[in-house]
Structure 1
Amino acid sequence: MRSRRAKASAIGTAVLLGSVVLTGCGGDDEPEAGKPAAAGESAGGRQQSTQAVRGAYDRTAEADSAKMTMKVKAAAEGKSITSDGEGAIDFEDGDSTMTITAGGRAVEQRVVDQVLYQKVPGQQQDGKPWMKIDLSKVARQQGADPGQIGDPARSAAYAKAISDDDVSRSGSEKVAGVDTVRYDVSVDVSRLPGGERLRDQVGRNLPMRLWLDDDGRIRRQQIDMTVKAPASGESGASGSPRQIKISTVMEFTDFGTDVEAEAPPAGQVADVTDQAARQGRKQS
């Protein structure tokens, strides 16, 4: 059995797939960056809110698995890409299955033993329909901790990156028919693992919103970030970095569901790990 922290990292894998791989859509109701705690909330209330947020990942992971949906929107240079994902994740080992719909195409995606597999309709690599990226290998090549590859925002480290002044209870509402309490969170990026590098990419604070059920589990999570990326060749000769706004909304339902994630047949898979690692270094 893995530790609670390992399970919580599996939740971060879902965040990675939404924020980086899907590259695409959030809800219209976005939290404000760096929002202070509500003025009407007492010090004791703020402390309780912080404790609820800090414990949310462990409590969610204790359910072992769940169905999940994801909506991601990325916008830059007057253009936007929207993606919708639906699947399931095993918090025990991080395995997941998901179908991503974007641009009228349905992409099949699996994560098995920290290896990402994708099958894009009408696209092949070396005559093979599946592409794979070894996420832990990419992390090592980029000098990162392979144990944290599933979490670009370091969700497992949020407990250390927030204080009572960073969390406020902002209301209650139903999510997929379940009563939840909504919390606005401002994560101090500098206090996350690799925070200095991450801060150069996303700024000082990472705004997040969580909806927790009566058991303290995450029912919905929204993360909004503005990422600095190398300028595209079409942007002119200035070389100024592009700013890509990414909003990711993830929901969990049906806790304890069965997750059947299997690697595709080896003969149908092309390994693009090194290409992914090189691309990652270019964008650092």
Structure 2
Amino acid sequence: MRSAYDRTAEEDTSKVRLRVQTSAPGASETADGQGAVDLDAGDSVMALTVQGQRIEQRVVDQVLYQKMPQGQAQGGKPWIKIDLGKVAVQQGADERSMSDPAQSAAYAKAITDKDVTKKGTATIDGVETTHYRVSVDVAELPDGDRRQQVGPTLPMGVWLDEEGRMRRQQIDLTLKSAPGSMERSSTDASPSPQRLRVRTVTDFTDFGTEVEADAPPAGQVTDMTGKTLEQGKKQG
């Protein structure tokens, strides 16, 4: 199981389909996407649909670029960028990293020997796979210092083909509220912690596909890294 990511990355590139379901008390959101990813370098090109709006996304050299829907451009420029490396240093990979298929796939490298269960078989895109339910040791992840928020283990489903490559991955992430972020239950006057649940399902197909991930022209990009870091400080 721990070698699944390496065996998949040996294919260098893949087409991906992505679904991210985010839910919190009183609200939910689903994002769908498809594109291609360089599993070795981590670059990717995705087209995301969120609440009926299309977002073009690229990850190039650990920098996230997004072309926002018309009317939502920042600073009069169509693209925004966020330096994922700087954000990870401050607050670790959170639910935003779920839309980065290479980062998501790499979680398999943190699989432990505990709680590995064979669940059965399934056909995905015409390929026979074996389904495993595993627990990822959060301490082994890049954001392992966030164990107080996500718990000691992260449940994950992995579907492997006969060559041991990942064909589907499902991650169920539950984030506890940051200190001071509370809500009141409708049946109890005492405050209760708020939880954000994120389910990410990623399908990998067409290994060896071409990936062209280029940064947009600098004149068309607004750097939102500083604002993202500032928001992270307020939330944390």
Specify the TM-score bucket, using the shorter chain as the normaliser. 0.7 to 0.9
Following the alignment from structure 1 to structure 2, what is the Cα–Cα distance between the partners of residues 85 and 171? 27
| Cα drift, residue 232 of structure 1 | 9.4
Following the alignment from structure 1 to structure 2, what is the Cα–Cα distance between the partners of residues 130 and 56? 34
From 213, 226, 231, the equivalent of 1:261 is: 213
Question: Cα RMSD between the aligned structures?
Answer: 2.7
Native 8 Å contact 1:166 1:187 kept in 2 = no
Gaps of 5+ in 2: none
Relative to the length of structure 2, the TM-score reads 0.85
% of aligned pairs identical?
Answer: 53
Following the alignment from structure 2 to structure 1, what is the Cα–Cα distance between the partners of residues 116 and 231? 35
| Cα drift, residue 82 of structure 1 | 0.6
Following the alignment from structure 1 to structure 2, what is the Cα–Cα distance between the partners of residues 77 and 247? 15
Give the aligned partner of residue 65 of structure 1.
Answer: 13
Instruction: Give the ranges of 4+ consecutive aligned residues of structure 1 lying more than 6 Å apart after TM superposition.
Output: 231-234
Relative to the length of structure 1, the TM-score reads 0.72
- Counting only pairs closer than 5 Å after superposition, residues 1-284 of structure 1 correspond to structure 2 as 53-121=1-69, 122-140=71-89, 142=90, 151=103, 155=107, 157-159=109-111, 162-163=112-113, 165-195=114-144, 197-230=145-178, 235=183, 240-284=192-236
> Could you list the per-position Cα deviations for residues 87-146 of structure 1 after superposition, in whole angstroms to 9, with x for gaps in the alignment?
100122111000110111011100111111011112111111100011122234x1769x
| Cα drift, residue 233 of structure 1 | 8.2
Q: 1:260 to 1:87 in 2, by over 3 A?
A: same
Q: 1:156 to 1:239 in 2, by over 3 A?
A: same
Comparing both structures, which one devotes a greater share of its residues to strand? 2
Counterpart secondary structure, 2:4: helix
Native 8 Å contact 2:117 2:134 kept in 1 = yes
Q: 1:144 to 1:244 in 2, by over 3 A?
A: closer
Amino acid across the alignment from 1:248: T
Following the alignment from structure 1 to structure 2, what is the Cα–Cα distance between the partners of residues 152 and 68? 12
Following the alignment from structure 1 to structure 2, what is the Cα–Cα distance between the partners of residues 269 and 281? 24
| Cα drift, residue 86 of structure 1 | 0.5
Amino acid across the alignment from 2:83: D
Gaps of 5+ in 1: 1-52
Comparing both structures, which one devotes a greater share of its residues to helix? 1
Following the alignment from structure 2 to structure 1, what is the Cα–Cα distance between the partners of residues 105 and 127? 26
